[in-house]
Amino acid sequence: MPAFTRLAFTCSDRPEAIEACERLIARYGQCETAEAQAIVALGGDGFMLETLHANLANPKPIYGMNRGSVGFLMNDYAEVQLLERIATAEQAIIHPLAMTAIDNRRRQHRALAINEVSLLRQTRQTAKLAISIDGKLRMQELVCDGVLVSTAAGSTAYNLSAHGPIVPLTAQVLALTPISAFRPRRWRGALLPHTARVTIQILEAEKRPVSAVADNYEVRDVVEVHISENRDISLTMLFDAGRSLEERVLAEQFAD
């Protein structure tokens, strides 16, 4: 990789992230994002997602350092040899999911998700959902707390907590995972080609309202949601040599 000399530092609002950002700017200087070769994000995984979303229109390589609570998507924090670490870092190229959610007033809401699009019940009533893949009805009725579609990069996040599969980055598949499925009780989800177009219809939407969430963007009272991968957008995350995202995802499958 080429040498990196123009960095733009950004940080979460945690005190340790702010202090680290100030020290790194004093040491390496600060460049405007538009002119930077790479962005250095200081915080946790949530802040990494925020930074990726903030740069969707003009993607830059993003090198994260952990100054938060969860750091699966972040590198270890160190102030020395930062330029060398970024120059020798391994790239992870990811593509977000595109969500189009239609609410009960037939308004369309569009958003992108780097981790997952999740549908969640809004009340004590379980959700009833119908799932179609590429226009073909695959599940006539799923009774559950919700369901999610995850990217490979997001498969170790909410998807894993919902007992979904960990997906290698090179597998080119999406994970479709139920959340507390009641019926069919034994259904554990599906692995879909990354080209799949997923349509989820909410059954009995008035009685059993459902919200749709693309990472941190929520739409309430949806009646239909369309989800597909957006290959037109490529986002680049940088990871220290030997600690690539692919390696982390693989190692997570053997974690205690």
The pair of structure tokens assigned to 99 is: 């969500």
Q: Residue 39's Cα: distance from chain center in Å?
A: 18
Residue type for position 203:
L
Question: Tell me, what's the pLDDT at 2?
Answer: 58
Question: Omega into 165 within 30° of 0, i.e. cis?
Answer: no
**Hey, what are 171's tokens?**
């597998």
The set of residues, in sequence order, having a beta carbon less than 8 Å from that of 154 and lying 6+ positions away, is: 113, 114, 115, 116
Phi, then psi, of 95 in degrees rounded to 5: -120, 135
Report phi then psi at 182, rounded to 5: -100, -40
Q: Which two tokens stand for residue 33?
A: 């994002």
Q: How many CB atoms are located within 10 Å of the residue 125 CB?
A: 12
Residue 82 amino acid letter: L
Q: How much is the pTM?
A: 0.90
Considering the domain 7-94+233-252, what is its CATH architecture? 3-Layer(aba) Sandwich (3.40)
217, containing H or E segment: strand 217-219
SS3 128: strand
| C-beta separation of 89 from 236 below 8 A | no
What is the C-alpha to C-alpha distance for residues 247 and 252, in angstroms, rounded to an integer?
9
pLDDT of residue 194: 96
User: What integer pLDDT is reported at residue 144 of this predicted model?
Assistant: 97
Pick the closest to residue 116 from 180, 159, 83 (CA basis).
Answer: 159
Q: In 3D, which of 68, 82, 74 has the Cα closest to residue 26?
A: 82
Q: What is the pLDDT of residue 58?
A: 82
Residue 26 in tokens: 């004093």
Residue 82: what pLDDT?
A: 96
Catalytically active residues are: 45
Provide the residue-wise pLDDT of the chain in tens; the chain has 256 residues: 557 889 999 999 999 999 999 999 999 999 999 999 999 999 999 999 999 999 998 889 999 999 988 788 999 999 999 999 999 999 999 999 999 999 999 999 999 999 999 999 999 999 999 999 999 999 999 999 999 999 999 999 999 999 999 998 888 999 999 999 999 988 999 999 999 999 999 999 999 999 999 998 999 999 999 999 999 999 999 999 988 888 888 888 887 6
Task: Write down the pLDDT at residue 218.
Answer: 98
Which class in CATH covers the domain with range 97-229? mainly beta
Structure tokens at 192: 């879909």
Q: Which two tokens stand for residue 247?
A: 């390696």
Task: Give the start-to-end residue ranges of the domains of the chain.
Answer: 7-94+233-252, 97-229
CA dihedral (213, 217, 220, 226) positive or negative: negative
